[in-house]
Amino acid sequence: MRVSKMNTRFAVAIKTLVLAVICGLFGVAPASAQEPQPRIIPAGYRVETIPIPEGVQFGVAGLDVAATGDVYAGTRYGEVWRYRAGQWSLFADGLHEVTGVTVDGESGGVYVMQKPELTMLIDEDGDGQADEYRCVSADFGFSGNYHEFAFGPVRDKAGNLYCTLNLSHGQGPSIKGGIMSVGERYRGTCFRVTPNGKFDIFAWGMRSPAGLGIDPRTDDIFYTDNQGDYNASSSLQHVVKDSFHGHPGSFLHKPAYKGKDINAIPDDEFLRMRQPIAAWIPHGEIANSPGNPVFDLTGGKFGPFEGQIFIGDQGRSNVFRVALEKVGGVYQGCVINCIDHLQSGAIRLAFAPDGSMWVGQTSRGWGSAGGVPYGVQRIVYDGKTIPFEIHGVKITQDGFDVTMTRPMKRDAIAPGNFQVQHWGYMYHAKYGSPKVSPTQVKPSSAVVSEDGKTVRLKLGKLEANRVYQLTLNGITGEDGAQPTTRNAYYTVSVLK
């Protein structure tokens, strides 16, 4: 090859410029302290974008952090990547759309939920690549339909594994003309696999249960469902043995319904069986397609929300909080937006041992407000700033206690600074639901607690099966700080 002066210059130009141009055009910048932050983020929190392997379609739909700090990210193209010491390496590949990753604390194996199978990946020789792809369970039906996602697993203290199964879209019969179809057996359920491999159905009635979580303190299982038929809005629900969660589709494969015409059973009958909703997640206002609930048990390393649930959302690309309480033995509580507008669809959250929160992201197929097709971000708390935010809401006999993270400026507090609106939802085979009879209520009093953090709002008689939206106007911290979000949505499933 003849190398002329021109060619050498040209090569140098290409090398330097292509890099510069690509960086310029795609906005790829090295991670720095100045990287763009979300539109809503409480004081003291920072979002870091984790660089992802070049040239890899890194649509994360499964993510977990091991006790060692190693992060495992499962992608929709069937790869599992391990992040250690700032480097990604390929741990496993060729899986069928990974939508759940859970590191097994005991064995060090990595559970992955792929569409056809719950699988454990075992790296026997410790070279950083899985050698054995062990089938843990394939006892559920899977037709190949795109919508037949499977999620989980979560593991309880006894070693049982729990997973959820999406309904199908276009495969098999649908219920009362609804959009989702039932597909093969056990779609729309939560199944359990015992430590000796026994498979059973733990709960019924799910539609698109994209997020599954477990409270490690109590073994309480929670899942999120996505708005759609028999789901007026997205929701967080408590899963117990044989609970029913709203969509009757899975009953087609429930022995008790064998031979019965599900379509002929009135919806009211299903509604009476439905597990009380722990928290409605108002569509459009908080989230449209929530992922897995994680429990902040970081002991304050992630800020002042210890014990609360964090959930990411795929469509809106945000992270919101849920503060639950038990009323009459039933979990219910409020949802509060937290960090809004991450770079991409925030479907997976996991806390790392250092108390930071990892966010696995994908937009493919449904789009996301974030706009970036996929990625990984990390949310870090500075360990000291107490942001002025709504901490949580608790129900009283005639109203709500609204608690802030730190004392409020007392002279600004009056009943008129709290707007309250409540509504119900319809239960039907149609997609979603409008708000039913939205009603404004004026608090008759607003009394501040001694520590200045809680306001007791008196509303009079509350109604069950309603969502109460509490909006703060002009409430500030003692230093004048404004909360980043002024709304809390409390679901009253049972009255106090």
Partner 1 sequence: MLRDRVVVTLALCLLCILHVPRQLDAADAAAGRAVFIRKSCVACHAVGLGRRTLGPDLSKLEKKLTRADLLEALKEPDKKIRKGYESFVVLTESGKVYSGRVVAKTADAITLITTNEKGVREIVIKQDDIDVMKQSTTSLMPRGLLKDLSDTDIKDLLAYLNSLPDTKPFPANLLSRVAKTGGAAVKRRVVFEPMANVASRTRFPKVDAEIELTTVPMQMRYDNTVFQVRPGSRVRLTLRNSDEMHHNLIVCKPGKLTWLDVAKAAWALGPDGPKMGFVPDSDLVVAATRQVPLGQQDTIDFAVPDVEGSYPFVCTLPGHAFLMRGEIIVSNSRHAIEDIHYSYYEGDWQKLPDFDVLKPKRSGESKVISIRNRDRNDRFGFLFEANLQTAVDGEYTFFITSDDGSRITIDGKTVVDNDGLHGEGEPVSGKVQLTKGSHKLRVAMFEFSGGEALHAAWSGPGLKVQPITEGTPASRFQQVQQFALEVGDTARVVRVNMPDATSRAIAVGLPGEANYCFDAQTCEVKYGWTGAFLDVGPDRGFGRGRGGAVCKVLGKRFNVGANGFPFRLGDLDTPPEVRFMGYRRKPEGPVFMYRAGSAIIRQSVTAAVTATGLTYTFQIDDSVQQGVRFQLKADGLKLSSSAGTWDGGTLTVPAAESQSFTVTVEVAQ
Which residues of this protein are in contact with partner 1, per CB under 8 A? 1-2, 4, 6-7, 9-11, 13-14, 17-18, 21, 25, 57, 76-78, 93-97, 114-117, 119, 129-135, 138, 142-147, 169-170, 179, 363-367, 430-432
How far apart, in whole angstroms, are the C-alpha atoms of residue 307 and residue 323?
8
Q: Which is nearer to partner 1, 119 or 164 (CB)?
A: 119
Nearest-approach distance from CB 208 to partner 1, in angstroms: 12
Nearest-approach distance from CB 431 to partner 1, in angstroms: 4
How far apart, in whole angstroms, are the C-alpha atoms of residue 365 and residue 381?
32
Nearest-approach distance from CB 365 to partner 1, in angstroms: 4
Cβ-count burial of 280 within 10 angstroms (0-12 exposed, 13-18 middle, 19+ buried)? buried
Task: Give the residue among 90, 74, 104 at the shortest CA–CA distance from 362.
Answer: 74
Nearest-approach distance from CB 17 to partner 1, in angstroms: 5
Q: Which is nearer to partner 1, 69 or 438 (CB)?
A: 438
Nearest-approach distance from CB 225 to partner 1, in angstroms: 16
Q: Which is nearer to partner 1, 257 or 431 (CB)?
A: 431
Sheet holding 45-50, edge to edge: 45-50, 374-381, 357-362, 346-351
Nearest-approach distance from CB 209 to partner 1, in angstroms: 17
User: What pairing do the DSSP bridges indicate for beta strands 132-137 and 117-122?
Assistant: antiparallel
Asked if 399 and 459 touch (Cβ cutoff 8 Å), the reply is yes
Nearest-approach distance from CB 1 to partner 1, in angstroms: 5
Half-sphere exposure at residue 438, Cβ-oriented, CA atoms within 13 angstroms: 7
Task: Give the residue among 38, 44, 31 at the shortest CA–CA distance from 343.
Answer: 38
Q: Which is nearer to partner 1, 134 or 326 (CB)?
A: 134
DSSP 164-211: EEPPBSSSS-BSTT-SSB--STTTT-EEEE-TT--EEEEEB--S---E
Nearest-approach distance from CB 287 to partner 1, in angstroms: 14
Nearest-approach distance from CB 311 to partner 1, in angstroms: 20
Q: Which is nearer to partner 1, 110 or 334 (CB)?
A: 110
Residues 6+ apart with CB under 8 A from 14: none
Joined together, the tokens standing for residue 221 give 């299982």
Residues 6+ apart with CB under 8 A from 362: 59, 60, 61, 75, 76, 314, 344, 345, 347, 368, 373, 374
Residues 6+ apart with CB under 8 A from 369: 315, 316, 317, 318, 341
Element spanning 379, H or E: strand 374-381
DSSP 307-351: T-EEEEETTT--EEEEEEEEETTEEEEEEEEEEB--SS-EEEEEE
Q: Which is nearer to partner 1, 159 or 284 (CB)?
A: 284
Q: Which is nearer to partner 1, 129 or 465 (CB)?
A: 129
Nearest-approach distance from CB 71 to partner 1, in angstroms: 22
Q: Which is nearer to partner 1, 117 or 296 (CB)?
A: 117
Q: Which is nearer to partner 1, 409 or 430 (CB)?
A: 430
Q: Which is nearer to partner 1, 138 or 447 (CB)?
A: 138
How far apart, in whole angstroms, are the C-alpha atoms of residue 195 and residue 137?
11
